[in-house]
A and B are shown apart, each in its own frame.
Chain A
Amino acid sequence: MGNHQIKRTQTLREIYWNYLITFYLFSAGISAGAMIVSIAADFINPAKYVSVVRAGAYIAPFPIMAGMVGLVFDLERPWLFWLLLTTFQYKSIMSVGAWIISLFSGVSIVYFIINLPKDYLKLKSKTGTVNTIKLSGFVLSTCVALYTGLLLSTLTARPLWNTPMIPVLLFISAIIDGLAAISLVLCLKRGGWGGAPNETDFSHSFITKVDFTLLYFLSLATAIFLIGMGRSTESAVSALAVVTGGGFSVSFWIGFVAAGIVIPFIAAAYELFAKVKTHKPWLSFISATLALLGGYIVRSVIIDAGQLTKTILY
């Protein structure tokens, strides 16, 4: 029977960060992911993957702006949000993040403009400048994608968050979400922006390959996260139980694992191994939508469950 013990405590409120923060992290992930994918594609083969490059560039600035609005309205004193940008607190991930996101927004807008068909900024010829923009865009978007996880993982008070796997998970998931957003755009804009008739097929197969790889890593990261938490401290184990077995289990297993990983992974694997060469918009659409859904749900579960569970102190 062991030593029977009951603890009775009170909590004023359980949830301090609601769906607005989930949305903020999610949209920041999409923006950063889209940017990373776009710049990566640009480095690899700008001509062949021009649709990926452009779609990514066109997406990047916007979700994060909406997310920022969400963040501001999650503040208890939204009218004071500007105080965030009057100081730089290097120890505060949120302060650092606010600055990074601001810079990211600026760079992503420039990147967006230089990817427009018309050379508004007269930069086409200045390769050095353009490369600097791309490089800084890559670094900043990497930071943004990492930031969303680090924001959570550095809090020792929250066992579900306080693991190095959270930034890894959210980072991979951010790129998958960016990729999915690009994929959705390409489903809508048939033909993409390429000159070649089979341009979307190239872009699509690029997306599929990257997606397959990332989903593979995401499932690994998820497995490591689950195993690691499950074999950790009492705090971690009970926090994990809330996610995998508690009120969040349906969201987690069906919303994230099945819809967000397994189905898109099977879809990508099917296309890769069945050597499907042509772009099937309906399939991409379903797969991308599910991936985005999974991306939102996993953040929502992590945000909510993370707040409900606390480090057991005594």
Chain B
Amino acid sequence: MSANPKWAMIIDTTRCVGCLACVAACHNQNELPMTEYFNRIEEQEFGHFPNYNRRFTPMQCQHCDNPPCVGVCPTGASYKRDDGIVAVDIKKCIGCKYCILSCPYNARVVNDEHGYVHKCSFCAGLLGKDDLPACVGTCPTGVRVFGDLNDPNSEISKLAATKKTVQIGKDLNTRPSIYYIIG
């Protein structure tokens, strides 16, 4: 970990089997109500029998470097931290849902009980203690690689340098911190 980390994730969709372990792990980690979630798996099918394939794409907050959700927030509840994590200060959130509508990744949800908006925080509370985000640690196929892009020796920095990755929705100028290997 570098002195001023920049957290990021690489998601290798070619290894995602859609098992939903990451979804369930996130659910417990963040003590979410049953129907709310921070991450999800999208499925695509290609081709005609028997020339056919599927792809599972894990989706969650992309921790954009240019986060529309932060820009639109009228109270400053949504903010971007120096380490790249986009966070919500739920004390300031009035529940206008503008950020939800502004997010191209559909990453934000309303907490039904209290009315604030919340979302993936890269498990910020776990970081910096040699702990990984819950979804990363539980993935059986190692789809998710998490780490500090400012640390040249981190696994993610090395992977980012050697693998071809894409940022989803790049042309929306969001500059996501999640990079995908599409295969």
A residues engaging B (CB < 8 A)? 1, 3-13, 16-17, 74-77, 80-81, 83-84, 86-87, 89, 91-95, 98, 154-158, 307, 310-311, 313-314
The B contact surface, by secondary structure, is: loop
A12 touches B44 (CB 8 A): no
B residues engaging A (CB < 8 A)? 35-37, 40, 42-48, 57, 59, 68, 71-76, 92-98, 100-106, 109-110, 114-117, 168-169, 172-174, 182
B73 touches A157 (CB 8 A): no
The A contact surface, by secondary structure, is: loop
- Alpha-carbon distance A286/B72, docked complex (angstroms): 39
- Alpha-carbon distance A12/B147, docked complex (angstroms): 29
Q: Which of A8, A10, A92, A310 contacts B72 (CB 8 A)?
A: A92
- Alpha-carbon distance A158/B72, docked complex (angstroms): 14
The 11 sampled A-B contact pairs (Cβ below 8 Å) are A1-B48, A4-B45, A12-B36, A17-B101, A77-B93, A81-B94, A94-B96, A154-B72, A156-B104, A156-B172, A313-B105
Residue from the set A6, A7, A75, A76 with the largest chain B CB neighbour count within 10 Å = A76
Give the 6 A-B CB pairs with smallest separation, nearest first: A76-B95, A76-B115, A95-B74, A157-B104, A94-B74, A77-B115
Chain A's closest residue to B42 (CB) is: A9
B46 touches A310 (CB 8 A): no
B43 touches A7 (CB 8 A): yes
Closest CB in chain B relative to A78 CB, distance in Å: 8
Closest CB in chain A relative to B14 CB, distance in Å: 14
- Alpha-carbon distance A271/B36, docked complex (angstroms): 57
- Given the complex, which residues of B lie within 8 Å of A91, measured CB to CB? 71-72
- Alpha-carbon distance A294/B73, docked complex (angstroms): 30
B101 touches A16 (CB 8 A): yes
- Alpha-carbon distance A162/B109, docked complex (angstroms): 22
Known A75-B95, A92-B71, A313-B105; judge A3-B44 contact (CB<8 A): no
A76 touches B97 (CB 8 A): yes
B44 touches A310 (CB 8 A): no
Closest CB in chain B relative to A204 CB, distance in Å: 40
A77 touches B101 (CB 8 A): no
- Given the complex, which residues of B lie within 8 Å of A314, measured CB to CB? 57, 168-169, 182
B75 touches A95 (CB 8 A): yes
- Given the complex, which residues of B lie within 8 Å of A17, measured CB to CB? 97, 101
A156 touches B68 (CB 8 A): yes
- Given the complex, which residues of A lie within 8 Å of B98, measured CB to CB? 92, 94
Known A87-B76, A311-B169; judge A76-B116 contact (CB<8 A): yes
B115 touches A6 (CB 8 A): no
- Given the complex, which residues of A lie within 8 Å of B57, measured CB to CB? 314
